[in-house]
Amino acid sequence: MTPSDLRPRGVVVVTDSDLPTEGVAERVLEAAGWTVRRAACRTADDVREAAAGAVALIVQWAPVDASVLANLPDCRFVSRLGIGYDMIDVAAATEAGIPVANVPDYCVEEVAAHTLAFVFSLTRRLPQLDAGLRAGRWAASDDGDGARRPQGTTVAVLGHGRIGARVAQQAASVGFDVLVHDPHVPAERVEAAGHVAVTLDEALERADVVSLHVPLTPQTRHLLDAPALARMRPGSALVNTCRGGLVDETALADALRSGQLGAAALDVFESEPLPADSPLRDAPNLLLSPHAAWYSPIALLELEERAAQQVADFLDGRPVPTIVNPGYARVRADGAPV
């Protein structure tokens, strides 16, 4: 008999997913003895209804707040289908004794590569050169005015986690001077990696390019607001492949129009898809991509497979190192899996 034969079956609910990987979670979880039910939740009410009786949730974008958790007495685990988990009320989950886990390393290489592609595009003026050529010009020095070489160009990396550390490493390897700001990482660790640890103000004031790699929390929402953007060097650039809510988009559009910022590149937005009336749509010197930095066919498969596997591991009593709220076990006195 397999371990799945020895325990009662339960239902794992995939609350929502816009990924073309349906069947991956089913393969992983059904092999372990669990039933998978998929939904298309958009609101907390949707989740409460769709997840009734679930022993675990796999969540992409649907909100899982305190009211949802209070109405799911059988739920023992929440797996985030991605890296960030700002759509889940982690504090409420901890109070309910429910662990929350993310998939923090499935697309590190992809996001770092996308970030550096943005940095190179902005510092080498590729959008302007492309537009000029298509308009019939052959004017490298005019349309490429302001292009920079890596040596002598300073990139400030805000956040030195998995992706931020990779961006800093790779940027330094091609010659950029790298500053790092992360209040949660000791300066000694940053300096041991060959970078310069700085305060947020120093990063904004000294960098030619600022790249964001921090989680979205109430404390970091609009980290780059109008005053912060005004502290950046005139003509400098901003790159965001992290979370849209880190940037005040109206203030960013104004900074681009005024010339305070020379350019920006965004893969993420406060509201997604990007609204038709967003002030970003007609802002100058702005390069956009549709929340695609994470994507490659390999990353796509790894994401859902890992999100499902950590559900199976937890429900089967195996350790899950990606749990973001280890304090759940103190609330749930026995700490035992279902």
d(CA 98, CA 329): 8
**What is residue 42's three-state secondary structure?**
coil
Q: Spell out the residues 6+ positions from residue 295 whose beta carbon is closer than 8 angstroms to its own.
A: 107, 110
Tokens 């005053």, residue located = 227
Radius of gyration of the chain (CA): 22
| Tokens coding 196 | 């310069």
Closest among 311, 312, 313, 261 to 283, alpha carbons compared: 261
**What is residue 59's three-state secondary structure?**
strand
Tokens 């899982």, residue located = 64
Residue-by-residue DSSP string for 189-202: HHHHTT-EE--HHH
| Tokens coding 188 | 């000694």
Catalytic residue check, 233: no
In degrees and rounded to multiples of 5, residue 261 shows phi and psi of -105, 140
Per annotation, catalytic residue among 38, 291, 305, 332: 291
Contact by Cβ (8 Å): 93, 219: no
Beta strands, E only, 148-250: 154-158, 177-181, 196-197, 209-212, 236-240
Per annotation, catalytic residue among 149, 272, 281, 330: 272
Cis peptide before 186 (omega within 30 of 0): no
| Tokens coding 206 | 């000294």
Catalytic residue check, 272: yes
Longest C-alpha distance within the chain, in Å?
73
Contact by Cβ (8 Å): 303, 103: yes
Catalytic residue check, 9: no
Per annotation, catalytic residue among 114, 166, 243, 306: 243
Q: Which amino acid is it at 107?
A: C
Active site residues: 243, 272, 291
